[in-house]
């Protein structure tokens, strides 16, 4: 039994207890005191999810259109997302026949050649211009570029350009970049007149294919005949890095950047696989084997996969970016030599030239089924599917951002 306090002390204790209770209840019912910090926080703070800071793309090359998605450089390439510039253009597949000196024009709805356009000597690639208004045919040994109006399919007067093996455009549209393979030069030109602005001699042999970093500030170039890679500063137009591939007899071909902008992939037809390169660090790449004669690289419309034609064995390997590995391999019935090409505007068909077989292949991107084999001229090479989604073209057979 507790001892009984005197009346005065009982009164003092009761008043003290009431005062403590009153002080404890002075705060708002929606607040509670954090003793460790001596601060007040909402009682339901745990129920409010933290606001994640919005990821912002790094500053791009001056004059370059802003990056739409910092996590996907191909965000503008979704199915059917055609620029107003190209919406009236008929859907066609343009096939440069290197040995026939012609361009075969295919209607993709009928799988039929609807026109054959005479061009210059040894056409290698059909290249969409940065502003999407012109298709340039690279007549490598004819030393000319033939413009084709994609609205009408009519070829214009050829422009004299020496050794135009391949053609690219800087992401700000300021320059065209001619890959002068045998001249051992990168030639920066006016993107409309093709007048030379600056010639950059290179020590490697066979400058060939390229792709730009996510911010457009540099690009990686493959040198086919000397098994080397170059890193070029876009704004200063200077070679800032050069390395030899770690494989005897390597022959690098197409170059493509990953959707997240962190990795470059370089196809190699003699190493029979794809080199995986950190473009920013420009350290030695690692080889991912795919198949004999690995040649082209094409991104799916949802940016989830990359199609890799293996020209020497008649197959297409499929690389999954999220899984970071090859997940499928499609074989062409009756063989073939799948080479360069592009993906249809709706993303459902992969179009590839058959370099050694005078034909073009249409392949279902979901099943890998061959939809058609279309006879064309001799030596079909860098075909362009046009129009395609995107705001502007970086060149080659159609690299859009």
Over residues 35-43, mean pLDDT: 42
Over residues 173-216, the pLDDT tens digits come to: 999 999 999 999 999 999 999 999 999 999 999 999 999 999 99
122: containing domain: 75-386
Over residues 69-125, the pLDDT tens digits come to: 999 999 999 998 999 999 999 999 999 999 999 999 999 999 999 999 999 999 999
Model confidence, pTM: 0.86
CATH number at residue 375: 2.130.10.10
Say which residue, 238 or 57, is predicted with more confidence: 238
Q: Per the structure, how many domains does the chain have?
A: 1
**In whole angstroms, what separates CA 85 from the centre of its chain?**
21
137 pLDDT higher than 90 = yes
Pick from 317, 318, 333, 320: nearest CA to 369: 333
Cα atoms in the 13 Å half-sphere on the side-chain side of 303 = 18
Cα atoms in the 13 Å half-sphere on the side-chain side of 163 = 13
8 pLDDT higher than 90 = no
CA-CA distance, 236 to 211, in Å (whole number)? 17
CA-CA distance, 195 to 202, in Å (whole number)? 20
Which range is least confidently modeled, 7-11, 234-238, 242-246, 289-293?
7-11
Assigned domain for 392 exists: no
CA distances from 390 to 84, 101, 272, 357 (A): 10, 29, 31, 31
Report pLDDT for 12: 42
263 pLDDT higher than 70 = yes
Q: For residue 59, what pLDDT band results from cuts at 50, 70 and 90?
A: confident
Assigned domain for 53 exists: no
CA triple 243-247-248, angle to 5 deg: 110
Over residues 357-395, the pLDDT tens digits come to: 999 999 999 999 999 999 999 999 999 999 999 999 999
Per DSSP, the residues of 46-103 read GGSPPPPPPP-PPP-STTPPPPS-TT-TTGGG-TT---TTTTTSPPEEEEEETTTTEE
Are 239 and 226 a contacting pair, CB within 8 Å?
no
Burial status of residue 356 (CB atoms within 10 A of its CB: 0-12, 13-18, 19 or more): middle
Assigned domain for 47 exists: no
Over residues 21-31, mean pLDDT: 39
Assigned domain for 43 exists: no
236 pLDDT higher than 50 = yes
Assigned domain for 172 exists: yes
How does the average pLDDT of the chain come out, rounded?
90
Assigned domain for 344 exists: yes
């Amino acid at each position: 039994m507790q001892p009984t306090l005197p009346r005065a002390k009982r009164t003092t204790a009761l008043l003290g207890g009431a005062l403590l209770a009153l002080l404890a209840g002075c705060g708002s019912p929606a607040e509670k005191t954090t003793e460790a910090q001596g601060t007040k926080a909402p009682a339901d703070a745990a129920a409010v999810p933290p606001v994640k800071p919005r990821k912002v793309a790094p500053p791009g090359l001056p004059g370059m259109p802003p990056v739409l998605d910092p996590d996907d450089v191909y965000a503008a390439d979704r199915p059917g997302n055609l620029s107003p510039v190209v919406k009236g253009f008929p859907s066609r597949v343009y096939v440069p026949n290197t040995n026939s000196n012609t361009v075969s024009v295919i209607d993709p709805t009928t799988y039929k050649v609807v026109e054959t356009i005479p061009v210059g000597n040894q056409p290698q690639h059909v290249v969409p211009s940065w502003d999407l208004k012109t298709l340039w045919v690279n007549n490598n040994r004819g030393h000319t570029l033939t413009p084709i109006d994609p609205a009408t399919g009519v070829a214009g007067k050829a422009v004299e350009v020496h050794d135009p093996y391949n053609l690219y455009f800087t992401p700000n549209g300021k320059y065209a970049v001619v890959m002068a393979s045998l001249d051992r030069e990168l030639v920066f030109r006016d993107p409309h007149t093709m007048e030379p602005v600056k010639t950059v001699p290179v020590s490697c042999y066979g400058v060939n294919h390229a792709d730009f970093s996510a911010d457009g500030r540099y690009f990686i170039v493959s040198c086919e005949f000397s098994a080397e890679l170059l890193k070029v500063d876009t704004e200063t137009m200077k070679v800032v890095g050069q390395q030899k591939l770690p494989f005897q007899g390597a022959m690098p071909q197409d170059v493509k950047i990953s959707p997240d902008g962190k990795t470059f992939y370089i196809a190699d037809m003699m190493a029979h696989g794809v080199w995986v390169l950190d473009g920013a660090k420009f350290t030695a790449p690692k080889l991912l084997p795919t198949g004999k004669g690995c040649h082209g690289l094409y991104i799916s419309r949802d940016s989830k996969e990359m199609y890799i034609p293996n020209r020497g064995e008649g197959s297409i390997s499929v690389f999954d970016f999220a899984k970071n590995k090859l997940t499928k391999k499609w074989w062409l019935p009756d063989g073939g030599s799948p080479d360069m090409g592009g993906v249809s505007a709706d993303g459902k068909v992969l179009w590839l030239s058959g370099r050694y077989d005078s034909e073009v292949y249409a392949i279902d991107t979901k099943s890998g089924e061959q939809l058609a084999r279309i006879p064309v001229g001799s030596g079909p090479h860098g075909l362009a599917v046009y129009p395609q989604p995107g705001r502007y073209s970086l060149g080659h057979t159609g690299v859009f951002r």
